[in-house]
Chain A
Amino acid sequence: MAAFPAVAQSEWTKIRSVRSTVWSLVSVFLITVALGLAISLVARNNVSDFTEDGRPFDATAVSFIGVGFGRLAIVVFGVLAVGNEYSSGMIRVSLAAVPQRGTLLAAKTAVLGALALAASLVTVFVAFFIGQAALGGGLSTTLGSENVLRAVFGTALYLTLLCLLSAGVTVMVRHQILALAILVPFILLVSPILSIVPVVKNVVRYFPDQAGSAITQVFPTDDLPYGPWAGLLICAAWTVAALLGGYLVLKKRDA
C-alpha cells in the first residue's frame, strides 16, 4: 500500500506549487483581518450603532466581522486545492501514482485540514488582537473574558470544517466551477435568506454554515436548540458526510 507520509508530502507539494491555492489561503487572512480592523475602527466611534436593545457590546463579534467573508475565501481554497485536479485531467496522473484511492483522499484531507487549521488559527488570533487594539481600552475585551477564548478557537475550527466540507463536495461533483457554483451562493445567499424565513428557519439552523457559526458568538443570540459545541459537531457531521460522499464517488467512478 502507498505510504501515507509520502502521499501527504506529495499533496503538500501540490498545494504549495500553485499560485491560486496559495493566494486563496492568504486571502482568508487578509480579508478577515482587514475587515475586522476597519469595522473595529468604525465601532470605536459609533458604539451605539453596534449595540442592539438590551444586549451588551460584543467586542469579539466586531473584530470577527471579516469572518463572514473569510469563510468564502477558505471555501474557495478547499475547492481549488482539490478541484484543480479535475479541471486539468491531472486526477488520472494522481490515481496512477497512488491507486489506493482511500489513501489519496485521506492524505489530501489531512494536508488540507492541517493547512486550513494553521491559517485559520493565525487569522482569528491576529484579527482578534488587531480588532481589540483598534477598539481601544474602553470597548475591547480579552481572551480571559467569558466565552471569548472559546469563540476565537471555535471560529478557527469552524473555518477549517467549512474548508474540508468544500473539499468533500468538490470530490463528489468532480468539477471545481460546479463546486464553487454550489457552495458560494449557498453560504452567501441561500442559507442566510432561508434562515429568516419563518417556516424553514428551524431546518436551516441545522445547515453546516449556520450550526457551526454558533461557536463564534460570545453572547448566545437566539433560542438555539443546540449549544455552541453541539453546533460545531453538527457542522462536523456535515463535513464527514461530504468527505464520505466524496470517497464513495472517488472509489466507484472511473477517473
Chain B
Amino acid sequence: MIELHHLTKRYGDKLAVDDLSFRIPEGVVTGFLGPNGAGKSTTMRMILDLDRPTSGEVTIGGRHYSGIQDPLRRIGALLEAKAVHPGRTAYDHLLWLAQSNRVPRARVDEVLDLVGLTAVARKRARGFSLGMGQRLGIASALLADPQTLMFDEPVNGLDPEGILWIRNLMKRLAAEGRTVFVSSHLMSEMALTADHLVVIGRGRLLADLPMAEFIKRNSRSSVRLRTPHQEQLLHALHGAGLTAEAGPDGSWEVVDGDPVVLGDLAAAHGVTLHELSPQQASLEEAFMQMTASSVEYHMGAGAAPEQPPPAWGADWDGRKSGKES
C-alpha cells in the first residue's frame, strides 16, 4: 500500500506539491489527474525517492522506497518514455535492469515479447519511435513482475493504436489483481480505464474518490425540449409535477427526465415538440470545472478573485487622460 503523508515539495519559492495526503488503493487502476504542471510527475518522482520531499513522506507498505531491497519487484514505473541510452540495445537495457534487481535473464525475453519488441530487441534505442520507446519503458516496468505499477502520462504522444494498446494493458494488469497508478491530464482517458480517481491542482488534493462516485456526482443527465408552445408545455410539466429549467436558445431542460414520459406528456396535451433530446454533461467538463481555479497559467500565484468584465466605456476616463488601457 502506497501512502502519502502531507507530502510537500518546494522549488525555490514555487510550491510544486502542497500538503498532499492520500493512499493508492490496491488491486485497481487509480487515475492521477490534474492539469499540466499540477505536480503529478513531481509526486511520482517523490514516491520513487528520486526527488526528496521538502516535508512529509511517502511510505510503501510502511517503508521508505530507499529501504526496499530489489524495489523493481515491488513497484515498476514508467516516468519518461526515452530514458534509455540511445546507443544501447533494448535487450541490454532490460538486462542491466534485471541484473540490478536479481531478476532471471529469461525474463528479459518474456517482457520483450509481452510488449511486442522481440523483433527489435538487438537494435539500438537511438532508432526507436516514441511508441517503441514507450513500450520499452513499459517492458522495464513489468520486468520484475511487480504488484504495483506506476505510469506517468503513458499515452502522451502515442498514435491511436498505441493508446488502445496501453488502455488494454492497464485493464489487463488490474484484472490480474495488480495496483496501477497512472497519471493523465485527460479526464476522458481516465473515464475509460480508472476505477479510482485522485485529482490534484497546483499541488493540492482536489478529489479522492471512486470513479463511479465521480461519475454519479458529475454526470448530470437531462432532457432538452423545444416547442413553439412554451406556455402549454410548462403548464403540462407543472401538472405532472416536473420542473424545467431554461436552456439555450429558448429550449427547456428537465433534469433526470425520461424522454418517453415527456414525449407522451406533450402528446397528451397536444403540444408540438421541435426537439426532444437526452443530454449528458461530459466528465471532461466536470474535471475542467474542478480544476479551473488551479490551472498553472490561469492566474498569478496570488489567486486573485476573478474580476467581472469592466462595463462598456469604463476605461473612458483613463483613455481621456492619455493612458494606455
B271 within 8 A of A: no
CB pair A6 B84 closer than 8 Å: no
Q: How far is the CA of A126 from the CA of B255 in the complex (A)?
A: 89
B66 touches which of A89, A90, A92, A99 (Cβ 8 Å): A99
B285 within 8 A of A: no
A84 within 8 A of B: yes
A197 within 8 A of B: no
Q: Is the interface of A mostly helix, strand, loop or mixed?
A: helix
B77 within 8 A of A: yes
Give a binary string over A13-46; 1 marks a CB under 8 Å from any B CB, 0 the rest: 1100111100000000000000000000000000
CB pair A89 B83 closer than 8 Å: yes
B170 within 8 A of A: no
Q: Is the interface of B mostly helix, strand, loop or mixed?
A: loop
B84 touches which of A3, A88, A96 (Cβ 8 Å): A88
Residues of the A chain whose Cβ atoms lie less than 8 Å from the Cβ of B69: 1-3
Count of CB-CB pairs between chains A and B under 8 Å: 93
Q: How many residues of B contact A (CB 8 A)?
A: 34
CB pair A18 B77 closer than 8 Å: no
In B91-109, which residues have CB < 8 Å from any A CB? 92-93, 95-97, 99-102
Q: How large is the interface on A (under 10, 10 to 19, 20 to 34, 35 or more residues)?
A: 20 to 34
Most chain B CB within a 10 A radius of its CB, from A17, A90, A94, A96: A96
- Which segment, of B49-57, B207-215, B245-253, B261-269, faces chain A? B49-57
Residues of the B chain whose Cβ atoms lie less than 8 Å from the Cβ of A1: 69
Given A2-B69, A17-B88, CB of A254 within 8 Å of CB of B51: yes
CB pair B50 A255 closer than 8 Å: yes
In A205-255, which residues have CB < 8 Å from any B CB? 254-255
Give a binary string over A96-108; 1 marks a CB under 8 Å from any B CB, 0 the rest: 1111110000000
Most chain B CB within a 10 A radius of its CB, from A2, A19, A94: A2
In B114-152, which residues have CB < 8 Å from any A CB? 140
CB pair A18 B85 closer than 8 Å: yes
Q: How far is the CA of A97 from the CA of B98 in the complex (A)?
A: 9
- What are 22 A-B residue pairs whose CB atoms fall within 8 Å in the complex? A3-B102, A6-B102, A9-B99, A10-B99, A11-B96, A17-B96, A18-B87, A18-B88, A88-B83, A88-B84, A88-B85, A90-B84, A92-B48, A92-B83, A95-B48, A95-B49, A95-B50, A96-B79, A97-B97, A99-B71, A254-B50, A255-B50
